[in-house]
Amino acid sequence: MHILITGGAGFIGGHLAEAFADDGHDITVLDNMDPFYDLGIKEHTIEVIGETATANDATFSFVEGDIRDAELVAELVEDADAIYHQAAKAGVRPSVEQPMLYHEVNATGTMNLLEAARATTIDRIIVASSSSVYGGRGELLPFSELDPTLPISPYGVSKLATERYAMAYANVYGLPIVGTRYFTVYGPRMRPNMAISNFVSRCFNDKSPVVFGDGEQTRDFTYIDDIVEANRTLLDRHDADGCVLNLGSGDRIDILTLAETVRDEVNPDLSIEFAERYEADAEHTQADISLAAELIGYQPTHTIREGVASFIDWYRDARDWYEPLVLAS
């Protein structure tokens, strides 16, 4: 099968491309190489995908381009059997400064993809969304797909627009689409500006982890391997077509405990530092994953503490190439 992965040089998209290449599928990656963080991480990811494809007699092509380029998107979609739409402008905090850019990339870019897809006989379209669509209100925990979507940042609004357009196209045009609401995904090659990578990097360099706010805010952190397996399942199963699914760990941890857990594992002598919290950050997140379990048999295998320990082990092994890129971002 020929799979198009938008944003495929990024963290989640890169892991999906690597996994599908390992399964022997032909892969095309579209990525605009946005320098949101050091591009050395994306360049490393592209190398890994290429090596994996070669080892499994699969083809791999990388296209540097933008999801906002409707003509390019249509050309790539026409040649694909399945699409994993991971491309997006990421980050809650920067979206506050550039709301129009986030709308153009995340909403209009998705429309380009959907318009191209409805002119083809595509087999699968998986569209990535985010737990940010819920808005992070603690009284609703855990978040169910039936709960109100009340995003509190331009990023969250743009991701909600992404998934609602996708579901409208599934309903009106019969496209085989599933939306996936990711809950703070982490793991090897993750973005350096995320809490876990930041905590680990600072602790390895004898610097105290910095917690924004009082640390009582909680997050459902999801290990990348669980996200990959869910997406692998969605390639062949149509049980969730026309639905949006929560993909999280189903658990949560407060940020202070997370920082202490990393600190105790890497450098127990460090203290915890605190800084002013950003208003656009959600207070709490936690996924109700019962619908994904029912429709696709989703069952995450990594607790947050197990996943953090695995990431620390990976970081230690990859420190020579990964850490300079983290520190440069």
**Catalytic residue numbers, as ranges:** 155
Tell me the C-alpha distance between 150 and 130, whole Å: 12
282-321 burial by CB neighbour count: b if 16+ within 10 A, else e?
Answer: bbbbbbbbebbeebbebebebebeebbebbbebbeeeeee
Confirm if 273 and 211 have CB atoms less than 8 A apart.
yes
Tell me the C-alpha distance between 66 and 279, whole Å: 30
CB-based contacts of 10, cutoff 8 Å, min separation 6: 31, 42, 45, 86, 87, 90
**Number of residues that this document lists for the chain:** 329
What is the C-alpha end-to-end distance of the chain, expressed in Å?
A: 36
DSSP 26-93: EEEEEE---TTS-HHHHHHHHHHHHHHHHHTT--EEEEE--TT-HHHHHHHHHT-SEEEE------HH
Neighbours of 71 (CB within 10 A): 9
Tell me the C-alpha distance between 39 and 317, whole Å: 20
Closest C-alpha among 76, 91, 77 to residue 191: 91
CB-based contacts of 121, cutoff 8 Å, min separation 6: none
Tell me the C-alpha distance between 99 and 137, whole Å: 22
